Amino acid sequence: MESENSYRHLLKWGDKREEGISHHMAEVIRAKFSLTEAVFRSKHLPGTEPVKLEKPPMIKPAQLEFLRGICGSGNVLTDDLSRARFSCGKFYGELLGLRLGLVPDPPDAVVAPRTHEEVEKVIAYCSDEMIAVVPAGGLSSVTGAIRAPHGGIALDLTKHLNRIMTVNKVNKTVTVQSGMYGPALEKELNSQGYSCGHFPQSFEYSTVGGWISARGAGQASTGYGKIEDMLVAIRAVTPAGVIETKDYPRTAQGWDLFRLFAGAEGTLGVITEATLHIFNHAPQNTASAAFIFRSFEAAVETMRRIIQSECGKPHLFRISDPDETDIAFKTSGFDGTLADKALAILGFKAGSRCLMFATVEGERDYARFVLNKIKRKVRAGKGMYIGTSPVRKWLDQRYSSAYMRDPLMDLGIMTDTLETAVTWDKLLKVWKAAHEYVARRPKAFLMIHISHVYENGANLYFTFLSPMQKGNEAQDFAVFHRGLVDTILENGGSISHHHGVGRVLAPWMEGHLGKNSMELLGAVKKHLDPNNIMNPGGTLGML
């Protein structure tokens, strides 16, 4: 474990222990990028230095005193480490910055209110004093949504606002404070027979408020929906006052105002509580299956037919494209086995074959019924059932696989992800164009999967790896990343399906939404936040 005072401690995702990459993964990386033994022995830009900020806090002592008066002195921090921790999320560019000892946008202070009422007082005061406020959950944003270019305060919602308020068993909803992390929420719900149904890969280190604010999607979203589908009501503090919506099942009284806060990324106010649908917790009933297809096109076509057939929905539903399938087979040690050779003889050849995973949850009979329907459609689509163990193995590492990014960066490998939503009629076009774009960069490598599926389309999730351009890491990444976003958008994808927009994708907002729509967003913001204190400085393309 690195010193808790170091940049490395801040940048590391997940478990802070020093994890290496697996033997199989090391072999793949060594071969793909021609890495030498020396590279494996050293760490590129390890970020082991102690954190030291250049920017002193700009907030006035009297203002700090006032905030201490509201929240208690132990809940207002101005030390370098706290300010650096709340200065960014987990976007690749930010992690690179930390490795280089750069903290360009720290807040002046980190404030942790203890109650909804304290949030009200803090926001009213900050609005009067024109102090910028960045609401902060688990800091797992991968779009630059957590930054304080105007200084001000980061509002730590996880320290105190992290409890379930009520589980309403009659309405099957939970009302929860926004700073509660996924595992604590799920554990408490499980103990009462329920599940939250929302399992992003960042589940362990992200919060209810962050899920809603970035409009996230869990890994079983095909069945359970995205977070905005689960959202029933909201309690939020804005500079213009509190917005509290009711938990009616549906209404026709104008717009659903709680939806304004789904995807607002902290620009309108602070969500303090949310009411969400909950689901029965019955993992023993889950039916699962893995399939293999001869091509991505065949797998996608089958997936579309399944989701449009109205035979019931899988919860987890994924396809890994040939490159991702290849890596999955290599890193799991499957490559070269007898089973692998048998698959090749049957025509499921490396370089074109694709894995599909499905799980169905709910009543046991229902889960089996839907899975049987899926199996039948897979057979009709010339796919083959290959058992359940690949799904189990995938579920075992569903969160920890993301820990690999840090050791890869230690090897000088640039690795980041992007994601988009796209209709079925354009999906293959976006997939091909992204591969063509990445193939133009020497030694770059792209894996794509589909993991959230709808009647009219799906998401595409891109993971790219490439050796860093040493000495020019940040600029090289920025140019490459920009080109990939342009490619996705030009071919019909959306800016984001579930990561949100933040500051990183903000430059594409107006072109994508149009001027009038941007002005509408701006007008809503102006009404709720007239002094522009809420997460200002570029998030969602707002000033």
Note the residues at the interface with ligand FAD (CB under 6 A): 13, 89-90, 134-142, 145-146, 157, 178, 200-202, 206-207, 209-211, 213-214, 216-217, 265-266, 270-271, 402, 498-500, 535, 539
Q: Which residues of 225-253 are buried (b: 16+ CB within 10 A; e: fewer)?
A: bbbbebbbbbbbbbbeeebebeeeeeeee
- Can you name the residues that pair with 415 across neighbouring β-strands? 465
The distance of closest approach from Cβ of residue 526 to ligand FAD in the complex, given in angstroms and rounded to an integer, is: 18
Q: Which is nearer to ligand FAD, 268 or 444 (CB)?
A: 268
The distance of closest approach from Cβ of residue 7 to ligand FAD in the complex, given in angstroms and rounded to an integer, is: 17
Q: Which is nearer to ligand FAD, 236 or 298 (CB)?
A: 236
Tell me the residue nearest to ligand FAD as measured from the CB.
210
Q: Which is nearer to ligand FAD, 157 or 528 (CB)?
A: 157
Per-residue tokens: 426: 């354009």
**Measured between alpha carbons, how far is 354 from 323 in angstroms, rounded to an integer?**
8
Q: Which is nearer to ligand FAD, 321 or 343 (CB)?
A: 321
The distance of closest approach from Cβ of residue 399 to ligand FAD in the complex, given in angstroms and rounded to an integer, is: 8
The distance of closest approach from Cβ of residue 498 to ligand FAD in the complex, given in angstroms and rounded to an integer, is: 4
The distance of closest approach from Cβ of residue 481 to ligand FAD in the complex, given in angstroms and rounded to an integer, is: 16
Strand 354-360, strand 287-293: pairing: antiparallel
Radius of gyration of the chain (CA): 23
Q: Which is nearer to ligand FAD, 281 or 498 (CB)?
A: 498
Q: DSSP H helical segments within 403-514, as ranges?
A: 405-410, 424-439, 473-490, 509-513
The distance of closest approach from Cβ of residue 177 to ligand FAD in the complex, given in angstroms and rounded to an integer, is: 9
Q: Which is nearer to ligand FAD, 127 or 207 (CB)?
A: 207
Q: Which is nearer to ligand FAD, 181 or 293 (CB)?
A: 181
Residue with tokens 């033997």: 23
The distance of closest approach from Cβ of residue 141 to ligand FAD in the complex, given in angstroms and rounded to an integer, is: 3
The distance of closest approach from Cβ of residue 155 to ligand FAD in the complex, given in angstroms and rounded to an integer, is: 8
Residues 192, 207 contacting (CB under 8 angstroms): no
Q: DSSP H helical segments within 130-246, as ranges?
A: 182-191, 208-214, 221-224, 227-230
Per-residue tokens: 125: 């005061």
Q: Which is nearer to ligand FAD, 318 or 353 (CB)?
A: 318
**Measured between alpha carbons, how far is 145 from 162 in angstroms, rounded to an integer?**
21
Q: Which residues of 55-86 are buried (b: 16+ CB within 10 A; e: fewer)?
A: bebebeeebbebbeebbeeebbbbebbbbbbb
